[in-house]
Chains A and B, each alone.
Chain A
Amino acid sequence: MTTDVTGAIEVEAVGIAKRFGAFTALDGVSARFRPARVHALLGENGAGKSTLVKCLLGYYRADEGSILVEGREASIERPADADALGLGMVYQHFTLVPSMTVAENLVMARADVPAVIDWSRERTALAAFMQTMPFQVPLDIPVGRLAAGERQKTEIVKQLYLRRRFLVLDEPTSVLTPAEAEQMLGLVRELTHSGAITTVIITHKLREVAMFVDDVTVLRRGRMAGSGEARSLSAAAMTAMMIGEPQVPANPERRGVPAQAPVLEITGLRTPGIGGRAGLGIDKLIVRGREIVGIAGVSGNGQAGLVEVLAGQRAATDGEMLVDGEPYDATRGAAQARHVRVLPEEPLRNGCVPRMTVTDNLNFRTFDDGGGRFWLDARAMGQRARRMIDMFGIRAPSPLAPIGVLSGGNVQRCVLARELDGEVRLLVVANPCFGLDVKAVADIRARIMAARNAGTAVLLISEDLDEILELADRILVMREGRIVHETPGAGADAQAIGAHMVGQH
């Protein structure tokens, strides 16, 4: 394969330390990234992975230590210095401009854009460049209209177009389907082994590490926790390095079989499409008691709309929703009467008032059911909050601290505690573990399973297929607002589900 790229380079971090005020993010970390190999940088949230690569790329200046590029000490003080050395990064949150076409994005990413752009010449050059790429992306489509996988590929193409020789990918598969992820990582591996680039993948998916990675570096609490060749490390050994404990949290136990009578019954639900995206068109959706129904799908295929309809954030144009056989219109009154609870995605934004206290936020479901009293019962609210904080192991500076200062995992625990308090017939959960570390993920999943075992009907909407495979009794696949596939959770085939997610079954 021939590319314009001038070849992989070796990058080495030597004794890097970085402090933010009193907090030590990195404490003397040394790591060598050998050329033309795929490296994985593993670690829990807050382990210092991002801080390390941001030091390498000039977004942060290390307090101590040095960076060697091709064995020579390099002074990288700002992103432009890293650019000049051929060091680049693909961020988890894409940095492409949604309203611009792929061609416009590529050209504008260059450092030497001419004042007046000769589009016919640029187009010819881009088409020629694209011929040398292992994968193709359409040049004339606005990035906002590309699927997440295509966008990820565009980001990588952009880095190669900029002649990067050392590339960091920050959780590159978090928004991709399994099939897309495997294809993309396979291409990156091929490209790396051809000698074009050195690749560092920040990840926490051990399955991908086993399949695509050559070398592993593990960080824990800002320190080097171990490294080695991926072949010689077992998943258990890597997990132990990451969380510092030999045991992996056990999968939550599933007890009892689903009830017969449906708790949630949706018929003919419709919402209008938005901005070219399909609206909802769900003919039939049933969730029974003591059952977790998992809805899988590529981000943006109507899952968010379904949660919004069930949470009362958006009105449906047509259709019927029944909870325990009674009509449910998603108003606050109906949710209280029918015992429907929702754990939305990004709970700090969708289910909390960040500046109000933990106690207030924990009482949002119940503060107004005191039988028409005018004054709030501050004492009962405080007691209730303390009970939830104890039961769910929420770590907060104080019950009266604003909830916005809590870590992501603790905000998630707070909202889950609130939503699971009292009698719950139906729990709607959306991406409950997004961005949480291993321990918090295990905890949240165990709580959801416990609620199911206690008889609650759970509708789990998640972009993480592994999560659905682990938790769901029954799996539905959603594409373009419709349910396109159904399979029992036990023994479900991830590849087949992935194929239905992208419509290539």
Chain B
Amino acid sequence: MSAIETILVAMLAGCLRVSTPFLFVSLGECLTEKSGRINLGNEGALVLGAMVAYAVSYQTGNPWLGVLGGAAAGGALGLLHGGLCTLARVNDVAMGIAIMLAGTGMAFFFGKPYVQPSAPQLPSIPLGFWSDVPRIRSALNVSPLFFLGIAAAFGLYYIFRGTRMGLRIRIVGDSADAARALGLPIERIRLFATGAGSALAGIGGAFLSLSYPGSWNEGLSSGQGLMAVALVVFARWNPLACIGAALLFGAAGALGPSLQTVGITWGYYLFYAAPYVATLVMLIVTVAPGRALAGMPGELSIGR
């Protein structure tokens, strides 16, 4: 196997793994923003979800129960954010930062006892069975959560297009005046969208602790929850485009480790910073001054 092939295989493997949490958090953020609210607290939901998922998996011995636990923990944090944002004069961006700090803080506090023990991990699907090359076989061991994420993206796309609930979320997010005229319960719909969005972020956390890297410690997240906000902008609030955006971020995140597999060690920190650089570039390219963002929900506080 040539060096290039090795790098490509490693990047493919890394991409499929690194992109999964991005995918879940960005879908969650997309759902929340479609309802006209921003949730920067999804970083907190991700970390708390990772910790709760790990703890539940360790205590029950069932990693799928862990995933459910992660979703529930994220959802609870989202409902807290959503509930606080319904109060008068509460700014969703400022509150999101508070929720992010609260979520990570709680995760670190309650997660201390779970740093040492090892919890049962999620199984992965061996899609590389056809190959003799061990590297390809291990690269194509894909977590079922990845496919769940893809299914969730298609599900959300369908919900926004063809269901009463999805269209109501879009109305509330695009024009509060129209929603009021239709008699929709704006705050309740936003609360639901915030809770459900954070539950998706919690599943993304469960992937971190139960699949890849597959352990619980305080350095588990590297800001995926925050970068997902940029990713949603890049994906133009379209769940299907979130898949592509997450894969792109995943590939950027896999760049550093892939180069390491063939012994390229110079510029280590530079390559590891690729996702952050990608975020910056993406924001600069997509929000050039004087250009309105197509697809942006009209009620979003950053847009008004």
Contact = CB atoms under 8 A, between A and B. Distances in A.
Interface stretch (A89-97, A132-140, A163-171, A241-249): A89-97
B290 A95 contact: no
B164 A274 contact: no
Given A97-B174, A99-B298, A116 B162 contact: yes
B297 A99 contact: yes
A98 B298 contact: yes
Contacts of A100: 167, 170-171, 174
Interface residues of A, number: 25
B298 A108 contact: no
A109 B177 CA distance: 13
Interface centre among A93, A99, A100, A274 (most CB of B within 10 A): A99
A93 B181 CA distance: 11
A97 B171 contact: yes
B294 A98 contact: no
Nearest to B34: A99
A113 B165 CA distance: 10
Contacts of A356: none
Interface in A102-120: 104, 107-109, 113-117, 119
Interface in B150-183: 161-165, 167-168, 170-171, 174-175, 177-178, 181-183
B292 A274 contact: yes
A314 B294 CA distance: 20
Contact of A108 (B171, B292, B295): B171
Interface in B119-177: 161-165, 167-168, 170-171, 174-175, 177
A127 to B, nearest CB: 18
Interface centre among B167, B178, B297 (most CB of A within 10 A): B178
Contacts of B183: 79-80
A99 B295 contact: yes
A117 B175 CA distance: 21
B291 interface: yes
Given A274-B292, A314-B290, A97 B170 contact: yes
A117 B164 contact: yes
Interface in B255-304: 290-292, 294-295, 297-298
Contacts of B298: 98-99
A99 B170 CA distance: 8
Nearest to A108: B167
Contacts of A271: 290
Contacts of A107: 167
B162 A117 contact: yes
B61 to A, nearest CB: 38
A115 B182 contact: no
Interface residues of B, number: 23
A115 B290 CA distance: 39
A109 B174 CA distance: 15
A503 B49 CA distance: 58
Nearest to B171: A97
A91 B46 CA distance: 43
A272 interface: yes
A93 B177 contact: yes
B89 to A, nearest CB: 15
Interface in A174-218: none
Contacts of B165: 115
B162 A95 contact: no
A104 B170 CA distance: 11
A371 interface: no
A275 interface: yes
Contact of A114 (B164, B168, B182, B290): B164
B190 to A, nearest CB: 15
Contact of A95 (B164, B168, B178): B178
A95 B297 CA distance: 15
Contacts of A272: 290-291
A114 B174 CA distance: 21
A96 B170 contact: no
B38 to A, nearest CB: 17
B174 A274 contact: no
B166 to A, nearest CB: 9
A213 B178 CA distance: 29
Nearest to B162: A117
Contacts of B167: 100, 104, 107-108, 113, 117
Contacts of A98: 174-175, 298
A119 B174 contact: no
A93 B175 CA distance: 11
A80 B292 CA distance: 36
A117 B162 CA distance: 5
B181 A91 contact: yes
Given A79-B183, A80-B183, A274-B290, A97 B175 contact: yes
A115 B163 contact: yes
Nearest to B175: A97
A95 B291 contact: no
Nearest to A83: B183
A100 B160 CA distance: 11
Given A100-B170, A274-B290, A119 B175 contact: no
A118 to B, nearest CB: 8
A116 B164 contact: yes
A79 B182 CA distance: 9
Given A98-B174, A98-B175, A109 B182 contact: yes
Interface string B204-230: 000000000000000000000000000
Nearest to B180: A95
Interface string A445-478: 0000000000000000000000000000000000
A139 to B, nearest CB: 15
A271 B175 CA distance: 28
A71 B135 CA distance: 84
Interface string A255-273: 0000000000000000110
Given A104-B167, A116-B162, 14 more contacts: A97-B171, A99-B174, A99-B295, A100-B174, A107-B167, A108-B167, A108-B182, A113-B164, A113-B167, A115-B164, A115-B165, A119-B162, A272-B290, A275-B294
22 contacts: A91-B181, A95-B175, A95-B177, A95-B178, A95-B182, A97-B171, A97-B174, A97-B175, A99-B174, A99-B295, A99-B297, A99-B298, A107-B167, A108-B164, A108-B167, A108-B171, A115-B164, A117-B162, A117-B163, A271-B290, A272-B291, A314-B290
Interface of A: 79-80, 91, 93, 95-100, 104, 107-109, 113-117, 119, 271-272, 274-275, 314
* 5 closest residue pairs by CB, A with B: A95-B181, A275-B292, A95-B178, A113-B164, A99-B174
